[in-house]
Amino acid sequence: MTMTSLLDGLDAHAQRLASSTLVNLIANDPARAQEFALRCGPLYANFARQRYDRTALDALFDLAKRADLAGAMQQLLGGETVNGTEGRAALHSALRGGVATSAFALAARAQALSAQLRMRELIDALAASDVTDIVSVGIGGSDLGPRLIVDALARPGARFRVHFISNVDGNAARRVLAGLDPAKTAGVVISKTFGTQETLLNGGIVREWLGNDDRLYAVSTNAQRVADFGIPPERTLPMWDWVGGRYSLWSAVGFPIALALGMDRFEQLLEGAAAMDTHALHAPLHGNIAVWHALTAVWNRNGLHAATQAVLPYDDRLKLLPNYLQQLVMESLGKSVRVDGSDIAADTVPVWWGGAGTDTQHSFFQALHQGTQIVPADFIGVVKADHPHAANHAALLANLLAQTEALANGQDSDDPHRRYPGNRPSTLLLLDALTPQSLGMLIALYEHSVYLQSVVWGINAFDQFGVELGKQVASRLLPALRGESQAHDAVTRALLAVIHG
């Protein structure tokens, strides 16, 4: 039986369960509340409110066996060429710890440790200076991961305040630099190739604003372009082609994280991710959170045909997590051809979106509860608060649990306007506390889930050619904006006429 037919077979299970509700599924199988839950260290995951029964779940785990998800994890973590279109390994796991299973992976780990030593040395030197603020310039994977971690874990009174510029809109740079003192600020320009237009333009703004190249640092694979930009090797940290941008926060791309948190806490972040690597590699399929998460995503996409997926962190410190996951998931899985170049018959990635509770309860939850589209959701909570406002935290957790219950169970009413259909699936992820370790573990869970989904669908999770075309057209349009060329389609020529007045 082919993978396509196995994926098609999920439809039959979904149709069999079409008249079943989550209320009935849980009532008829009360043990699922415990048995559809797993824990890995400080991370707890409960899948009991997903719309599959044990028979459908067996079909999903049969899919996992036939796709050899266990072998796929070994290939990934062992440094095999899992990025076939670019002929590369994807060894972000080597940046963070102890699951290296090949000479290549061990060599990559040694390079990562050397880079971490250099990061510590640079941080110590900056700490001995009068620099108080850091401006990090990057975009995509060079920005979203560091920005998320810093926003989530930076503490008041830290040695450095870290600020981020990503958007090529000049207002972004202007807003960040306003109020900072260039004499007490350092800049970090992060670009894998050091050819990214937005980053180089914003890096030029920061360089000019600083008025002193001695406080400008870089992270890149391209030492020559960095040198041409005016940053010497002693202030340049490495990147490698075996780490994709959206998987790079664990590398020297995390330099802004280490500056904001301190190098010790940055290493704790790596340790948390490494613990998830070990779990994803060694835990049996039925006890593996990454496998459960990936199979649930496949079920919701190919069984229930859900076109979107919400991620809803109930902790304000994680409010940037939906932004980060949009790139991780949609750039990795937004593919329509298999690794062999043939068209894929199944749907792949849904649209990921979301925001932080409880704010979002007052914006789009109306659609989640009573809209015509069913939107599976990942709810993420933190059990222990790091603030003294106990009443607020109790209310936050009450809302978290209430929303998952209300979406699943609904509520009937004689008034159709006040009827809640329920039967809306969700996964609940709980962190014991929000620490570098637990956040590292959570992000690594999503990384591995994304990869395992790609294996089931037979696509490459590690290339991103879809982001290139728009950038290429934009480069060709720059001369037209200067009035030098009109070699574009009729609509673009009309729009250029509006811009030029």
> Which residues are catalytic, by number?
331, 362, 471
| CA distances from residue 4 to 1, 15, 343, 378, 499 in whole angstroms, order as listed | 8, 18, 11, 26, 48
CB atoms within 10 A of CB 284: 8
| CA distances from residue 428 to 37, 135, 431 in whole angstroms, order as listed | 9, 35, 10
| CA distances from residue 501 to 34, 101, 148 in whole angstroms, order as listed | 65, 62, 40
Extended beta strands in 289-425, E state: 308-314, 351-354, 377-382
CB atoms within 10 A of CB 353: 17
DSSP-based three-state secondary structure for 315: coil
Tell me the residue length of the chain: 501
* Paired strand residues for 309: 352
Query: Which pair of tokens denotes residue 266?
Result: 């940055």
CA distance 225 to 208: 18
Q: Are 397 and 438 in contact (CB under 8 A)?
A: no
Specify the amino acid at residue 227.
Answer: A
Instruction: Find the helix or strand (DSSP H, E) in which 236 lies.
Output: strand 236-238
Q: Are 298 and 7 in contact (CB under 8 A)?
A: yes
DSSP-based three-state secondary structure for 340: coil
CB atoms within 10 A of CB 317: 17
**Strand 377-382 relative to strand 308-314, pairing:** parallel
CB atoms within 10 A of CB 130: 8
Extended beta strands in 252-355, E state: 308-314, 351-354
Query: Which pair of tokens denotes residue 20?
Result: 């079943």
Angle, helices 436-457/69-77, rounded to nearest 10 degrees: 120
| CA distances from residue 96 to 106, 117, 141 in whole angstroms, order as listed | 12, 13, 17
**Strand 308-314 relative to strand 351-354, pairing:** parallel
CA atoms within 13 A on the CB side of 13: 22
